[in-house]
Chain A
Amino acid sequence: MRARRNCWAKAEVSRRRRAYRVALRLFPESIRHTYGREMEDVAAQAWREAGRRGRVSKALLTLRIGRDLIVNGLGARWEEGGGMGQGFQDLRHALRGLRRRPGFTVVAVATLGLGIGGNTAIFSMVDAAFFDPLPYPDDDRLVVPYNVPAPDQGRGFAAFSSPLFAAMRDQGVFAALAEMAPQPLNLGGSDRPERVTAARVNAGFFDVAGVPPFLGRGFTAAEATLGGPDVAVISHGLWERRFAADPGAVGRSIVLNDRSTVVVGVMPPDFELIFARVEVWIPTRTDEGAFTLTSAQNNNRILVGRLAPDRSLPATESLLGSVSARVRERFPGALSDAHEIHLVPLREHLYGDARSNLTLLLGAVGLVLLIACANLANLLLVRGESRRSELGIRAALGASRFRLLRILLTESLVLAALGAASGLALAQGLLRLAGPYAPSSLPTPVIGLDASVIGFTSAVAIVTGLFFGLVPALRGTGGNVREALAGAGRGSVSRHRWSLGSGLVVLEVALTVVLLVGSGLLIGSLYRIQSVDPGFGTDDRTVLPLALSASAYPDAASLNAFYRDMLEQLEATPGVTAVGLGQFLPLNGASNWGYEVEGQPDRGVGFADYTLITPGYLEAMGQRVVRGRALTWDDAREGAPEVILVSESMAAELWPDADAIGQRINIDTEGRVWREVVGIVSDVRNRALTREPGAIMYFPPVLLPMSIPRGMSTVIHHADAAPPVAELRAIVGSLDSTVPVARAGSLSDIAAASESRRHFILLLMGLFAGTALLLAAVGLYGVVSYSFSLRSREIGLRMAIGARRSSVLGMVLGQSGRMVGVGLVAGLAIAAVSTRVLDSLLFETAAVDPVIYAAVALFLTVVAALATWIPARRAARVDPASVLRGA
């Protein structure tokens, strides 16, 4: 028994010895040769001893010996190689080699730069959306409440009515709860009045943000109540502009909507919460005693809460469960029975939609990088092949395989570093270039050398360098030295190297096809979107936003008088063909309102988009009155009969079998006021070009439950050239010099902006696909020309014994055709499976659209044929005599 155990132990020790002997190869030859045997003995003895102490110490010893081998083996190699000095020598060697072949170096660095640059640019955006902390202390404690009318119908919206906000605040479950409502203001008190973006906020706003004011303070609870003093907190930018950055600005006054307002605070630079570019914050003025059903239905403020320190998001959410019921009790009919309040982390609210798009772009650009790597591997493979003789000589002169690997790896790491540097520059350029086109829903990263972006680029560069350096390096040094020396430059065929190269080309082609199909689908969608008729004219229409203050124009009559005068003057301007004012322009943020239909009590309350319009608006927009009549100034007169226009879709929906003209609609929740439909207006796509036209109500600019709109947009339809903004400003200024006239845009800008995200993604996808195609073509060209330069001897022989030029050409084309064919089929198959991730971005285009797939296949085949044609012709031009002589 004992003998048997001994035998076992011996067998184990000899097994370990064998393993140790193999691992000893980590040490340089010199040490291994002299001391290897002794080291083995010492290790064996240590094991024997540890074995007596038990299994655990044996295992620990094994770990220790493994670590010892790696650390000291590599350390000894490093010393042997001359330490750092050798590294510098390798570096110098690599740089010299790269300088000697500028063509190869430029192509390699450019290839890598394209891949790394694209990755870095997209990663900066991903970084901003996923990882960058939001600029508020404990930003992960901030949540945005969502108003969910019915949980089974989507995630709701982030807007609340005043009474609902008050009920949530009174529940007291947050550490602080901010309410904010955007409100444009006229900033007067200087020669040129300005229109500034402002927000009405409560005192809790500053507690939620947690950002201390740069100067002064936020609002007190007493200031943010009905009848509080006129105070304001201003942005850093406005402080610099209006007060020339005077530290004594706090306590001084500005004129907001004709009211003198005391500045109590200045926020730090770049401060914003939810609403971008706010320059003035003014306190809320809610009369909570006068809440009505209407106020409970008017969801016009967005809330942000800071979670209480000891309360999680779900716990807070469940504590809000009873709020809906309380509001329902006070205002029956204001909320549905299923109404709920959900909480969404602020980051998700801001970037949730963008994330899937960014992941998509990151995936696409990752494919580009992969293609770039494959291409480089190919380039280095070819280069390694042509350097076999050089390496053979070095090996013959005594360079170890380790040393050769080091030289080759240094070279690829240098390439990767150069590629990363050019990629970083490219990324900066790309972000700067793409920045203006980036839709606001995608986070625009601060363009700069962010540490994490640098980290990412370096990681990509190093991994790339190792990846594309290692394969050719291993292959390059693996061959038999003598064989390499003998076969050097003789044009012999190296079969497996060839197949590795063509494998890489197949991969490149397949990935390129995926990107091309993705871009093709997006182009198809955009084409279809662009050919959608929005229902209004977008050309030759200038838009001039306008706002009149409540103190100078307190009622509908004074507003309308101004509008009328202004429109008459504008209409008289040469070149202007039609002009009118509208509250909400299509594709520019719609608002909806509840209504009920006379004689259809079963229908209950429906919702439709609405807008106030002046006479002339429909003509200026290029909309038609299908039946009935347009609005007149008489309709806007106080005391005039209440009238309304409805869109075609709305008329068809509400009165499918009857004439809509003469029917009546009520939109007032307190007491009924029936408004008569006097006209039916042609449909427009109001919410998005991709959404079918829906119900829209058009009102004259009179006093309505949703209050008189202070902000209106003037639509000016003109002949070829738009009238200069200065001229328009002069016209408005001649009527009232305190009315600010903002920069004018055009309707086509607004329509284009509504599709900006799709455009932006297409722009980037197109860029990536184009890059991929270029890289794949270069790769194909490289592999084909390389493989035939290797086979030049064979081709020469064939031609010497009578092969025709055309058959050689056919052979070359056939070979590249096989690679492209395999890649194409694989790529189309991958695309068919993977392009479903694009679904949300596609419009009237199937993810598997046969036309686009066929177009991509054709396009790629043509490009591939071109990339093959040049080397193929060269192969066919081989002069058999010279080839054979050189052999």
Chain B
Amino acid sequence: MSVTCEQTRVLMRPSGLHAYDLPLNPRVFAILMALLEGAAHGYGLKQAVEKRSNGRVQLDPGSLYRSIARMVDNGWIEPVDAPGDPDDDTRRRYYGLTDLGRRVARAEADRLRSLLDHASEAELLGEG
């Protein structure tokens, strides 16, 4: 697999990620999170994200595939073979997380955690 420009930039940093890419768009982050559980097709992603966020994040086809297209271009996700589910429509394309994608998701999660730590230190959030 050829190394894209984005990858080079990310790989060159010890932290694994260039600050330029963060914070992630909440939709993109939600898709990465959903893919942590395994490859999924477009509609499955939509359902997973909407369910997990209690409907707060909505993925209509346009925004869903605009995000997917971009993530594929960035090398964060890639089309994969359908898991051998015989019921499934063979026409559907499945997407899986790449190693880079996993690191991007982790970097974002780290960023969010440090934000939350700050908030706790400032006693913005109640104990427990």
Which residues on A are within 8 Å of B, measured CB to CB? 27, 30-31, 34-35, 37-43, 45-46, 64-65, 68-69, 71-73, 75-76, 79
> Number of B interface residues, CB 8 Å?
18
The answer, among B58, B62, B70, B92, for a CB contact under 8 Å with A39, is B62
Chain B residue contacts of A64, Cβ below 8 A? 58, 60
Q: A41-B43, A45-B43 are in contact. Are A68 and B60 (CB under 8 A)?
A: yes
Which of B41, B43, B65 is most buried by chain A, counting CB atoms within 10 A of its CB? Answer: B65
Chain A, Cβ-Cβ closest to B93: A38
Q: Which A residues touch B16, using CB under 8 A?
A: none
B66 touches A76 (CB 8 A): yes
Residue of A nearest to B69 (CB): A31
Instruction: Give the residues in chain B near A73, CB-CB below 8 Å.
Output: 62
Q: 21 pairs across A/B with beta carbons < 8 Å?
A: A27-B66, A30-B69, A31-B65, A35-B65, A35-B68, A37-B91, A38-B42, A38-B92, A39-B61, A40-B61, A43-B60, A45-B43, A46-B43, A64-B58, A64-B60, A65-B62, A68-B62, A68-B63, A69-B62, A72-B66, A73-B62
Q: Which residues of A contact B61 (CB under 8 A)?
A: 39-40, 42-43, 46, 65, 68
Using a Cβ cutoff of 8 Å, how many contacts connect chains A and B? 60
- Is B100 located at the chain interface by the 8 A CB criterion? no
CB distance from B21 to the nearest CB of A (A): 15
Enumerate chain B residues within 8 angstroms of A69, measured Cβ to Cβ: 62
Chain A contacts for B41, CB-based, 8 A: 38
Q: Is the CB of A72 within 8 A of B92?
A: no
Are B62 and A38 closer than 8 Å at their CB atoms?
A: no
Contact B66 A42 (CB under 8 A): no
Alpha-carbon distance A30/B68, docked complex (angstroms): 13
Asked if residues B68 and A42 are in contact (CB atoms below 8 Å), the reply is no
Chain B nearest CB from A425 CB (Å) reads: 43
- Nearest CB to that of B89 among chain A residues? A41
Interface residue SS majority, chain B: helix
Determine the residue in chain B with the shortest Cβ distance to A64.
B60
CA of A491 to CA of B42, assembled, Å: 54
Residues of chain A with a CB closer than 8 A to B46's CB:
42, 46
User: B28 interface residue, CB < 8 Å from A?
Assistant: no
Residues of B within 8 A of A40 (CB): 61
How far apart are A19's CB and chain B's nearest CB, in angstroms?
Answer: 13
Residue of B61, B65, B70, B92 with most partner-chain A CB within 10 A:
B61
Q: For the complex, what is the distance from the CA of A38 to the CA of B64, rounded to whole Å?
A: 10
- Known A-B contacts A41-B42, A42-B46; the reply to A34 vs B69 at CB < 8 A is yes
Expressed in whole angstroms, the Cα–Cα distance for A38 and B44 within the complex equals 12
For A68, list chain B residues within 8 Å (CB): 60-63
Q: Give 8 nearest A-B pairs by CB, closest first.
A: A72-B62, A68-B60, A68-B62, A39-B61, A35-B65, A42-B61, A72-B66, A43-B61
> A34 → chain B, closest Cβ, in Å?
7
| Extra 14 A-B pairs, beta carbons < 8 Å, given A34-B69, A68-B61 | A27-B66, A31-B69, A35-B65, A35-B69, A38-B65, A38-B92, A40-B61, A65-B60, A65-B62, A68-B60, A69-B62, A72-B66, A75-B66, A76-B66
How many whole Å from A17's CB to the nearest CB in chain B?
12
> Chain B residues near A71 (CB, 8 Å)?
62-63
Return A706 CB to nearest CB of chain B, in Å.
82
Whether the pair A39, B43 counts as a contact (CB closer than 8 A) is: no
The answer to whether A42 and B69 touch across the interface, beta carbons within 8 angstroms, is: no
User: Which B-chain residue is minimally distant from A73 (CB atoms)?
Assistant: B62
Question: What CA separation (Å) do A540 and B60 show in the bound complex?
Answer: 84
User: Closest Cβ of chain B: how far from A44's Cβ, in Å?
Assistant: 9
Bound Cα distance A37, B91 (Å): 10
For B65, give the chain A residue with the smallest CB separation.
A35
Q: Complex Cα distance A72/B64, Å?
A: 9
Given the complex of chains A and B, what is the CA–CA distance between A31 and B92 in angstroms? 16
Closest to B46 in A: A42
Contact A31 B66 (CB under 8 A): yes
Which residues of B40-67 are within 8 A (CB) of A?
41-43, 46, 58, 60-66
B63 touches A42 (CB 8 A): no
Contacting residues, chain B, for A43 (C-beta < 8 A): 60-61
Q: Which residues of B contact A45 (CB under 8 A)?
A: 43
- Chain B min CB distance to A187 (Å): 70
Q: How far is the CA of A439 from the CA of B62 in the complex (A)?
A: 60
Return A66 CB to nearest CB of chain B, in Å. 10
CB proximity of A106 to chain B, nearest CB, Å: 44
- Contact residues of B between 16 and 54, Cβ < 8 Å to A: 41-43, 46
- B60 contacts which chain A residues (CB < 8 A)? 43, 46, 64-65, 68, 72
Which residue on chain B has the smallest CB distance to residue A76? B66
Chain A nearest Cβ from B24, distance in angstroms: 16
A219 CB → nearest B CB, Å = 60
| Complex CA–CA separation, A27 to B64 (angstroms) | 13
Q: Please, which residues of chain A bring their CB within 8 A of the CB of B64?
A: 39, 42
Complex CA–CA separation, A40 to B42 (angstroms)? 11
Binary interface profile of B, 58-89, with partner A (CB < 8 Å = 1, else 0)? 10111111101110000000000000000000
Q: How far is the CA of A31 from the CA of B67 in the complex (A)?
A: 11
In the complex, A72→B67 CA distance in Å?
10
Bound Cα distance A41, B42 (Å): 9
CB A61 to nearest CB in B, in angstroms, measures 9
Are A27's CB and B43's CB within 8 A? no
Most buried by B among A30, A42, A69: A42
CA distance A65 to B64 in the complex (A): 11
Contact of A42 among B42, B58, B70 (CB under 8 A): B42
Note all chain A residues with C-beta closer than 8 A to B58: 64
CB distance from B48 to the nearest CB of A (A): 13
The distance from the CB of B77 to the nearest CB of chain A, in whole angstroms, is 13
| Distance between B60 CB and nearest chain A CB, rounded to angstroms | 4
A111 to chain B, nearest CB (A): 41
CA distance in complex: A64, B62 (Å): 10
Query: Bound complex: CA of A40 vs CA of B60, how far in Å?
Result: 11
**Which residues of A have CB within 8 Å of B70?**
79
Q: Closest approach, in angstroms, between the C-beta of B55 and any C-beta of chain A?
A: 12
A255 to B32, CA, bound (A): 87
A164 to B124, CA, bound (A): 71
The answer for the CA separation of A75 and B62 in the assembled complex, in Å, is 10
By beta carbon, the residue of chain B nearest A36 is B65
**CB within 8 Å for A27 and B93 given contacts A35-B69, A41-B42, A41-B43:** no
Q: How far is the CA of A731 from the CA of B63 in the complex (A)?
A: 90
| Smallest CB separation, B38 vs chain A (Å) | 18
State the CA gap A43–B58 with chains docked (Å). 13
User: Is A41 within 8 A of B92, CB to CB?
Assistant: yes
Report the bound CA distance from A41 to B65 in whole Å: 12
Cβ contacts under 8 Å, B66 to chain A: 27, 31, 72, 75-76
Centre residue among B43, B46, B58, B93 by max chain A CB count within 10 A: B43
Q: How far is the CA of A180 from the CA of B41 in the complex (A)?
A: 83
Please report the C-alpha to C-alpha distance between residue A706 and residue B87 in the assembled complex, in whole angstroms: 108
| CB proximity of A85 to chain B, nearest CB, Å | 16
> What's the least CB distance linking A73 to chain B, in Å?
6
Contact B63 A39 (CB under 8 A): no
Residues in B neighbouring A79, C-beta threshold 8 A: 70
Counting chain A CB atoms within 10 Å of each CB, the highest count among B41, B62, B65, B93 belongs to B62
Distance, CA A73 to CA B65, complexed state (A)? 10
CB within 8 Å of A: which B102-124 residues: none
When distances are taken between beta carbons in the complex, the residues of chain B under 8 Å from A76 are 66, 69
Chain A residue numbers with a CB within 8 Å of B65 are 31, 35, 38-39, 42
CB-nearest residue of chain B relative to A43?
B61
Q: How far is the CA of A46 from the CA of B58 in the complex (A)?
A: 12
Which residues of B lie under 8 Å from residue A39 when comparing CB positions?
42, 61-62, 64-65
Which B residue's beta carbon lies closest to that of A37? B91
A38–B66 CA distance with the chains assembled, in angstroms: 12
Q: How far is the CA of A69 from the CA of B66 in the complex (A)?
A: 10
Q: Which of A27, A30, A37, A41 has a CB less than 8 Å from the CB of B62?
A: A27
Tell me the smallest distance from the CB of A42 to a CB of chain B, in Å. Answer: 4
For A70, give the chain B residue with the smallest CB separation: B62
Q: Report the bound CA distance from A796 to B30 in whole Å.
A: 70
State the CA gap A73–B60 with chains docked (Å).
12
Task: Give the residues in chain B near A34, CB-CB below 8 Å.
Answer: 69
Q: How far is the CA of A178 from the CA of B43 in the complex (A)?
A: 74
